[in-house]
Structure 1
C-alpha cells in the first residue's frame, strides 16, 4: 500500500513540474504557441533545405566551370606546342 502511495505521489509531482515548466515556457496560450512553434520549425526546415539545395547547385556549377577552364587550358597548351614548329618552319622559309 505504501508503494502505491509513493508512486502516485512521485507521478503527481512529475505532472505538476511538467505543467509548471509548460506554463513558464508557453504562458497562458499554450496550444496557440505550440502551433506557432510548429510553423516556425516547418519554415526553418524549408529554409535549411533551400540553403542545402542552393549549396549543391553552387558546388555543381563551380565544378563544371573549373572542368571547362581546365579543358580550355589543355586545348590552349596543346595547340601552341604545334604552332611553334610551324612558325619556325615559316621563319626559316623567309
Structure 2
C-alpha cells in the first residue's frame, strides 16, 4: 500500500515537471492553443471539398462528351441518304 502511494507521488511529480518544462519552452497553455489550428482544418477541408467537386464535374463532362459522340456516330450511320434522286 505504501509503495502504491509512493508511486502515485512520483508520477505526479514527473507530470508536474513535464508541465513546467512545456510552459517554459512553449508558453502558457492559452497562448499555445490558437485559432490557427482550427483554421488549418477548415482550409484543408475546403480544399479537399473543392478537389472532390472538380473531380465530379470533370467526370460528368467527360461522360457527357462521350455520350454525345456515341449518339452522333450512331445517328450518322443510320440516317437515310439525302442525295439527289433522279426523277423518272
User: Which bin holds the TM-score, normalised by the shorter protein?
Assistant: 0.5 to 0.7
Aligned twin of 2:32? 30
Give the aligned length.
Answer: 82
| 1:63 and 2:63 are equivalent in the alignment | yes
Shift of 1:11: 5.0
**Once superposed, what is the RMSD of the aligned Cα atoms?**
3.0
Q: Which has the higher contact order (CA 8 A, sep 6+)?
A: 1
TM-score scaled by length of structure 1: 0.63
Shift in Å, 1:50 = 1.1
Q: Select between 35-44 and 8-17 the one with higher mean Cα deviation.
A: 8-17
Residues 2-81 of structure 1: pairs in structure 2 closer than 5 A: 2-10=3-11, 12-14=13-15, 16-17=17-18, 20=21, 27-28=26-27, 29-32=31-34, 35-79=35-79
| CA 1:37–1:67: 2 relative to 1, 3 Å | same
